[in-house]
Amino acid sequence: MAIVDELSDDSLRNMAIGAVFSDFGGKIFSLDFHRTADLLVTASEDDSVRLYDITNAKLLKTTYHKKHGADRICFTHHPSSFICSSRYGLDSNGESLRYLSMYDNRCLRNFKGHKERVVSLCISPVNDSFMSGSIDHTVRIWDLRVNACQGILRLRGRPAVAYDQQGLVFAVAMEGGAIKLFDSRSYDKGPFETFLVGGDMAEVCDIKFSNDGKSMLLTTRKNNTYILDAYGGEKRGVFSLDPSPDTEIEATFTPDGQYVISGSGDGTMHAWSINSGSKVGSWDSNIGVVSCLKWAPRRIMFAAASSVLTFWIPDESKPEIKSEA
């Protein structure tokens, strides 16, 4: 599998399904790639957590979590450990997050605090800090080494959270189009910058930073995808997609930060160039409305999922057309 260097319009158009995994017992709620290892993990409605080798398109291990369920998931820095949010028992025990080891199928730590579903989860790229956003209108900051919550931000509405690639800044987005930027070392002092997207009062689904730190990606329940300048908050692009009332869609940057790919309510996926704002490719997902969509950090490959997981790779049968200067 090719390592990402710099993508082109043609290389995006040539992406096609390379592997299909259809044995899930329900919807896939979330997926995540490890930052340095060629691994992917999923959490799904059948209470399973599944680990995949993406270079060989192989399922490595499946564990089931019937007591707590499996909802949002993200890798820690270790390739066989994850943070996973619970679906069950939040009212009674408050064990909203668990630190899991796939190697020996153990729960290494429980994190109690959220009383309602966690809808956003991310780990710092530089240390053991991580954040969770919940529909209880709070964002909590944690440390993998400590059970107790390290900090709480109380917000308006449902939040989405993301760290930048240096781990120095984190963003919190909330309904009404407000994005607040915090210094991760002194978040207790409040945000150092606030952006207002404007014109879209829908709940926020997701927020991401591009790898180069220049752009942010914001998606809302109205299936609008916004590309924002990460420094000043100006809109660099707005892409509106078909509605999907029962499914939240996800969008993703390519690793070079030059393109965005998003699902749509009609079961298609689309790619746009950030610099030109033009659409460069469209595909039928072949799996219905895509609820999870992420590009692998180091490879020319992305994963798209509904109740089926698909790996998309370059179609070698389609020669890439080189534009003459």
> Could you report the per-residue pLDDT of 59-74, keeping only the tens digit for each?
999 999 999 999 999 9
Check whether 277 has a pLDDT greater than 70. yes
Global pTM exceeds 0.85:
yes
d(CA 207, CA 119): 12
Mean predicted lDDT score pLDDT of the chain: 92
Residue listed under structure tokens 């790639």: 33
Residue listed under structure tokens 């399922």: 59
Residue listed under structure tokens 């994850």: 82
Confidence of residue 95 (pLDDT cuts 50, 70, 90): confident
d(CA 187, CA 179): 14
Other beta carbons less than 10 A from residue 6's beta carbon: 9
- What is the structure's pLDDT at 318? 64
Check whether 325 has a pLDDT greater than 70. no
Residue 50's alpha-carbon distances to 39, 58, 63, in angstroms, are 10, 11, 7
Q: Are 280 and 259 in contact (CB under 8 A)?
A: yes
- What is the structure's pLDDT at 323? 40
| Tokens standing for residue 33 | 């790639």
Q: Are 184 and 162 in contact (CB under 8 A)?
A: no
Tell me, what amino acid is at 112?
A: K
Check whether 53 has a pLDDT greater than 50. yes
Q: What is the mean pLDDT of residues 192-196?
A: 92
Residues 6+ apart with CB under 8 A from 42: 24, 28, 30, 31, 48, 49, 50, 52, 73, 292, 305, 309
Q: Summarize pLDDT for 135-180 with one digit per residue, the tens.
A: 999 999 999 999 999 999 999 889 999 999 999 999 999 988 899 9
- What is the structure's pLDDT at 290? 96
d(CA 100, CA 184): 24
- What is the structure's pLDDT at 199? 72
Check whether 320 has a pLDDT greater than 60. no
- What is the structure's pLDDT at 324? 39
d(CA 74, CA 110): 15
Q: Are 167 and 209 in contact (CB under 8 A)?
A: no
